Amino acid sequence: MRGFRRNNKPININDVSIVDDSKSKQAIKAAALGNAIEWFDFGVYGYVAIVIGKLFFAGVDPKYQTILALATFSIAFVFRPLGGIIFGRLGDKYGRQKILATTVILMTVSTFAIGLLPTYATIGILAPILLILIKIIQGVSVGGEYTGAIVFVAEYAPDRKRGFMESWLDFGSIAGFLVGAGTVSLLTYILGQQTFEDWGWRIPFLLSLPLGLVGLYLRHSLEETPAFKQLSESEDKNKKISFKEILSKYKRSMLLCIGIVLCTNVTYYMVLTYLPSYLTDNLKYEGSLGSDLIIPVMIGMLFIQPLVGWLSDKWGRRPFIFAGSLSLLFLSYPAFLLLDSGVATQITIGLIILALSLNMLIGVMAATLPALFPTQVRFSALAIAFNISIVIAGLTPTVTASLVSSTGNLMIPAYYLMIFGVIGLVTASKLKETANKPLFGGAPMAMSEAEAAELLEEFHGTIEERIEKIDAQILALQKKRQGLADKHPEID
């Protein structure tokens, strides 16, 4: 474990944070609901991308309309680093809770606004321009949302349950996406395709308002995290660290963060955002087939997600990153062959393979990333690294759709995932295990006094082991020095 000294004094039992179980559960609910709102919009947009293309880009060749709709989706990701810089800095200065309350408001309002937009037929070129502006606002707000949420939960989670607790954040993400996609499918079934394209597509976006109000209520009632409170009481509370210092001092951690996020989120956007359009536009399946098959697979993912988080607390995070990356490298191509089979059973197996690859990665990502940075810069550093990666990952639907369209090669998505599987393997090989350890530079966190005593004993034991290793290295260097000195006539 990494060393921790509070006010330059050795750590003792009083410095171990005892986490209130009810507060930690409340933190998970509030953070997960915010993620659900974010991914509710992604799910809706992914499933109505074809409709959005027809209505907002009616002035271009039909074969490019869906690509432009997906490109508009990707534009938001270009502005996520800006949101990460703004909200990350504010989160490290003023606290996590205030930022999470702000981002959920911005997300809700911008998603709701899409449902009110006039289309190209009504206001012409202004329609896509307004859509792009709204997606930019979304990008800025989301830039601080996910990273703020994982930091918030990490700083409330006891060391031995951080994987399980953080896994519920992306349970919220998948659930939000599922509800969004399911809402679109249900409305299409009830209203019929033509009525849905005429005005029914607006309803899912408008539904984000009540979801956002619930999320705001939950987040407004939260207390600040124990870790941030400790920082506020320390001598380092007013010490400012520039972005340049963050980039130089925590370069290795940021590169690891980028690798994990790229591997995980390229898979996420490929499976959950691009595949519905791929099955309809490229594989020419009936409009409902993609939804009918993907939605049950996503429901299965909900059950797997917390299981992966729970197991990662026992086995570690690295084994799952290795397994997910290996699956991308060796099973993506067979999975896409199954998707192109035209047989419902085989298509479902292909989707399950991709979904399990994603589960193994996203099940541990939220627990792994906050442990890479200390409290003082955790929000800022994580927001920068995460959102830089998301710019690349968010382009996945657009880049893949363009490559498939230009080359006619239906296996492009598989090759794309294989590349990022290699990136995941390299990252996992360089990552130090973070499971069951305190956050970087922080004190142990426990659920009870008995667990606190156990963690403190482990913590001190690890420090003793590190000191012994250092002493052994010093002794070896002293022997080496003496051996060299013996060869020199004027050095003792």
Name the band, by pLDDT with cuts 50, 70 and 90, for residue 12: low
pLDDT of residue 17: 67
Percentage helix, strand, coil for the chain under 3-state DSSP, each rounded to 5: 80, 0, 20
Name the band, by pLDDT with cuts 50, 70 and 90, for residue 6: very low
Closest of 388, 383, 372, 386 to residue 439, by C-alpha:
372
- By the 8 A CB rule, do 101 and 216 touch? yes
pLDDT of residue 290: 64
Q: Residue 173: is its pLDDT beyond 70?
A: yes
Task: Give phi and psi for 5, each to the nearest 5.
Answer: -135, 125
Name the band, by pLDDT with cuts 50, 70 and 90, for residue 133: very high
- Give the burial class of 248: count Cβ atoms within 10 A of its Cβ; 0-12 exposed, 13-18 middle, 19 or more buried: exposed
Per-residue pLDDT, averaged over 307-330, amounts to 96
Residue 437 is classified by DSSP as S
Q: How would DSSP label each residue in 369-395?
A: GGGGS-TTTHHHHHHHHHHHHHHHHHT
* Full-model pTM: 0.80
CA atoms of 397 and 451, how far apart (whole Å): 46
Q: Between 290 and 267, whose confidence is greater?
A: 267
Q: Residue 349: is its pLDDT beyond 90?
A: yes
Name the band, by pLDDT with cuts 50, 70 and 90, for residue 1: very low
pLDDT of residue 491: 75
pLDDT of residue 90: 86
pLDDT digits (tens, 9 = 90+) for 39-83: 788 778 877 888 998 999 988 888 788 888 878 877 887 888 888
Most confident of 35-44, 134-143, 448-457: 134-143
pLDDT of residue 371: 92
Q: Which residues pair with 6 in a beta bridge?
A: 9
Q: Residue 118: is its pLDDT beyond 50?
A: yes
pLDDT of residue 436: 83
CA atoms of 43 and 174, how far apart (whole Å): 9
- By the 8 A CB rule, do 371 and 440 touch? yes
pLDDT of residue 311: 96
Q: How would DSSP label each residue in 218-247?
A: HHHTPPPPHHHHHHHHSTTTT----HHHHH
Q: Residue 115: is its pLDDT beyond 60?
A: yes
Tokens of 36: 């659900």
Name the band, by pLDDT with cuts 50, 70 and 90, for residue 260: very high
Contacts of residue 191, defined as CB under 8 A and 6 or more positions apart, other chains included, come to 200
Contacts of residue 20, defined as CB under 8 A and 6 or more positions apart, other chains included, come to none
Name the band, by pLDDT with cuts 50, 70 and 90, for residue 3: very low
pLDDT digits (tens, 9 = 90+) for 201-212: 999 999 988 888
Tell me the pairing of strands 17-18 and 9-10.
Answer: unpaired
Per-residue pLDDT, averaged over 386-400, amounts to 87
Q: Residue 102: is its pLDDT beyond 50?
A: yes
pLDDT of residue 414: 96
Domain residue ranges of the chain, discontinuous segments joined by +: 18-447, 454-492
Fold of 18-447: Growth Hormone; Chain: A; (1.20.1250)
Question: Mean pLDDT for the chain?
Answer: 85
